[in-house]
Amino acid sequence: MAVALLLNRVFRRRKKKSTESISTYAVYEFDFDTIKAATNKFSNLIGRGGFGSVYKGRLQSGQDIAVKIYFTSSIRAEREFHNQLDILSKLRHKNLINLLSFCTKRDQHCLVYEFMPNSSLDRFILDPHRASQLSWEMCRNIVDGIACGLRYLHEESGSWVVHRDIKPSKILLDSDLKPKIVGFGLARMMQQGQNEAESTEIVGTVGYLDPEYMRSGRVSVKSDVYAFGVTILTIISRREVWSVDGDTLIEYVMRCWNRGEAIDVIHEVMREEEREDSISEILRYIHIALLCIDEDAETRPSIDKVLHWFSCFSSPLPEPFIGNRFLAEEETYRSWSLSLSPGHSSLMSPISSR
């Protein structure tokens, strides 16, 4: 039976706690029995996180799905569920995960997504065997797709969304290795025309967190630009952000750039197998990534500007600013890492460098 016969279009108004507004969820709602049947009684576990578990399933229409069931006993899980639902129900783009449905029946909180057969980007680039299957053309298409998704969030969606946790594990790959941004539990919608806003807590992943956001507690689209820059470097180097011969990935890249040896940032397999013109393009992407992680958020490019640089190879690039202050920012990261788990999303109180 077609999906349309299983579902009724609903617009739910759920009154949240006093700190939250009433949201309209313009997505299909499944009943819990439908989800239970589609997942064969939740028999195929494909992922587990701090707030819930993810199961693979299949609808009667034949469409494969991923179902995330939240631990409703957690206040943060409840908040993430509603944030994902509230934001993703308003968004549609080829480089964003498609939210198909939700369920809040029988004290269960579930979100139903399209299924991504190639899992997350980090599992590709950090697995030597799978990483060897990624040519530069594939990597470039992934990077460009992520940028297109971010431009939609920042400028085209009408919701002015800041993701706040961009990193390789938040990028899923479909059967054609096309990227889709996921993980909107920490995302924030801005007011129309608003570039930044105060945040009562610092959220994100250490190693991808914008240093200026960490200092000031002000969230902006430029924080996503910073995390995107780190993601580009991770894809090209195929290294963890915290395990490069005792240096962070950013420190390593900076030192290579200062020595005029940016080519060393490129993973050795890619460096050996790609043509000279591809190597030149990869070096340009490294240059752009360094501009994205400028320590001054004001001088970072917009995602739209980054996409222009990607598509127009003849367009000149400004020199990245690399100074002693940047290394001081890395020391700030190190002090934070003593109490946080690098690579995992975290929630913190704002700090000030003043």
| The pairing of beta strand 109-114 with beta strand 161-162 | unpaired
Q: Does residue 1 sit within a domain? A: no
User: Does residue 193 sit in the same domain as residue 59?
Assistant: no
| Host domain of residue 174 | 121-348
Q: Does residue 13 sit within a domain? A: no
- Site of tokens 């704002």: 350
Q: Does residue 179 sit within a domain? A: yes
Among 114, 147, 175, the domain boundary falls at 114
pLDDT in tens, 45-95: 999 887 899 999 999 999 999 999 998 777 888 889 999 999 999 999 999
User: Does residue 91 sit in the same domain as residue 177?
Assistant: no
Which residues of the chain fall short of a pLDDT of 70?
1-26, 106, 192-197, 200, 243-245, 323-354
User: Does residue 315 sit in the same domain as residue 166?
Assistant: yes
Which residues participate in the annotated binding site for ATP?
A: 68
What pLDDT is recorded for position 72?
74
CATH of the domain at 57: 3.30.200.20
Among 91, 114, 137, the domain boundary falls at 114
What pLDDT is recorded for position 349?
44
Give catalytic residues, as residue numbers: 165
- CA torsion 332-143-305-250 (nearest 10°) is 20
User: Does residue 149 sit in the same domain as residue 293?
Assistant: yes
Burial class (CB in 10 A: 0-12, 13-18, 19+), 33: exposed
Alpha-carbon distances, residue 314 vs 280, 281, 296 (angstroms): 12, 11, 26
Q: Does residue 23 sit within a domain? A: no
Q: How many domains would you assign to the chain?
A: 2
User: Does residue 279 sit in the same domain as residue 134?
Assistant: yes
- Tokens in use for 344? 């995992």
User: Does residue 224 sit in the same domain as residue 101?
Assistant: no
Residues with Cβ < 8 Å from 249, sequence gap 6 or more?
A: 207, 230, 233, 234, 237, 239, 240, 241, 242
What pLDDT is recorded for position 297?
93
User: Does residue 299 sit in the same domain as residue 187?
Assistant: yes
Q: Is 268 helix (H, G, I), strand (E, B) or coil?
A: helix
Burial class (CB in 10 A: 0-12, 13-18, 19+), 228: buried
Length of the chain counted residue by residue: 354
User: Does residue 171 sit in the same domain as residue 93?
Assistant: no
User: Does residue 45 sit in the same domain as residue 106?
Assistant: yes
Residues with Cβ < 8 Å from 270, sequence gap 6 or more?
A: 135, 136, 139, 236, 238, 282
Q: Does residue 18 sit within a domain? A: no
CATH of the domain at 196: 1.10.510.10
User: Does residue 64 sit in the same domain as residue 201?
Assistant: no
Do residues 189 and 87 touch, judged by C-beta distance below 8 A? yes
Among 64, 85, 114, the domain boundary falls at 114
User: Does residue 50 sit in the same domain as residue 198?
Assistant: no
User: Does residue 155 sit in the same domain as residue 225?
Assistant: yes
Measured distance CA(119)–CA(136) in Å, rounded: 19
Q: Identify the helix (H) or strand (E) that includes residue 278.
A: helix 276-292
Which residues participate in the annotated binding site?
A: 68
Q: Identify the helix (H) or strand (E) that includes residue 12.
A: strand 12-14
Q: Does residue 10 sit within a domain? A: no
Q: Does residue 77 sit within a domain? A: yes
pLDDT in tens, 262-288: 999 999 999 999 999 999 999 999 999
What pLDDT is recorded for position 22?
31
Q: Does residue 219 sit within a domain? A: yes
Burial class (CB in 10 A: 0-12, 13-18, 19+), 42: middle
